[in-house]
Amino acid sequence: MNELEISYNMFENIKHIDEEGKEYWFARELQHILRYKEWRYFSAVIEKAQIACSQSNNSISDHFGVCTKMVNSGVATKAILDYKLSRYACYLIVQNANPKIETVALGQTYFAIQTRKMELTEQEYKLLSEDEKRLYRRKQTRDGNKVLYKIAKEKGVKNFDRFTNAGYKGLYNGETANDIAKRKGLRYREDILNNMNSAELGANVFRITLTEDLLEKQETKSEIKATDTHYVVGKNIRQTIKELGGTMPEDQPTPKKSLKAIEKVNKLDIPLKEE
């Protein structure tokens, strides 16, 4: 197990499960993992995360449960404030924490991936067949791209072919969407995302999600900057896959059937429009 895998396990190791089988994290334990020495600094990050939660039309109390803990203080014990955090709350916290801290950067990666995947419970996801996982992650890419392109337009993007290919080039070592399609042996204008396995789709879900977050924080309206950001995100995800010893996206096997064909045969109620 390499150093990066150990770091990812840090966040799993402090995860708790309640009596209803729901996962949660304690803020004080997350503070320690994220290397914040003083609670006052970390509580300021939590406040920013709560504001982001509210601005996203989510209930703060649903994700940041206030609780107290008793700790030893010399010869006596005292109660201290803590929070029972949902995965989404943790995601917002790491997005608002100091990115210069190494474990914060790792936490951003971990919670971005897991938050998207946990739209289904982990147990439910594991029970899906490979084709069902593909359908699920394909829906995530479709929904995510709608949001991504909306944000990109707001940040000044007009050439969406160039913007889209920048993300693919970063993730696929220079390959454009057309290059990927040719390598997979697809017909003209056949959708590449409908012809990826669940692992390859997962890497693209991550690319879309992380780019969304970074473009939201982009203060200037610049097509060049937004396009460059998409490329850098793809490239960094590629590097993460390499460091973890994973299979590169271009080396993932292409499924025998496209998701459009599976949808047609099974009459699945999940539309797969080309983007």
DSSP of 92-116: HHHHHS-TTSHHHHHHHHHHHHHHH
- What band does 55 get if pLDDT is binned at 50, 70 and 90? confident
Residue 69 lies in a domain: yes
Q: Are 7 and 56 in the same domain?
A: yes
Into how many domains does the chain fold?
2
Q: Are 101 and 200 in the same domain?
A: no
d(CA 147, CA 143): 7
Q: Are 141 and 98 in the same domain?
A: no
Q: What is the pLDDT of residue 3?
A: 43
Q: Are 196 and 243 in the same domain?
A: yes
* DSSP code of residue 250: G
Residue 130 lies in a domain: no
Residues 6+ apart with CB under 8 A from 85: 24, 25, 26, 27, 30, 63, 64, 65, 93
Residue 262 lies in a domain: yes
Among 142-151, 155-164, 184-193, top mean pLDDT goes to 155-164
d(CA 139, CA 240): 24
Bigger pLDDT: 266 vs 217: 217
What mean pLDDT is predicted for residues 31-56? 92
Q: Are 65 and 155 in the same domain?
A: no
Bigger pLDDT: 221 vs 19: 221
Residue 273 lies in a domain: no
> Among 4-8, 47-51, 66-70, 178-182, whose mean pLDDT is lowest?
4-8
- The parent domain of residue 46 ranges over 3-106
Considering 106, 124, 147, which residue would you say is the last residue of a domain?
Answer: 106
Residues 6+ apart with CB under 8 A from 21: 121
Q: Is residue 84 within 8 Å of 26, Cβ to Cβ?
A: yes
Q: Are 144 and 70 in the same domain?
A: no
Q: Are 17 and 98 in the same domain?
A: yes
Q: What is the pLDDT of residue 193?
A: 97
> Among 39-48, 51-60, 174-183, 230-239, whose mean pLDDT is lowest?
51-60
Mean residue pLDDT of the chain comes to 86
Pair of tokens at residue 210: 């992380």
Question: Taking the model in full, what pTM does it have?
Answer: 0.59
Residue 113 lies in a domain: no
Q: Is 86's pLDDT higher than 60?
A: yes
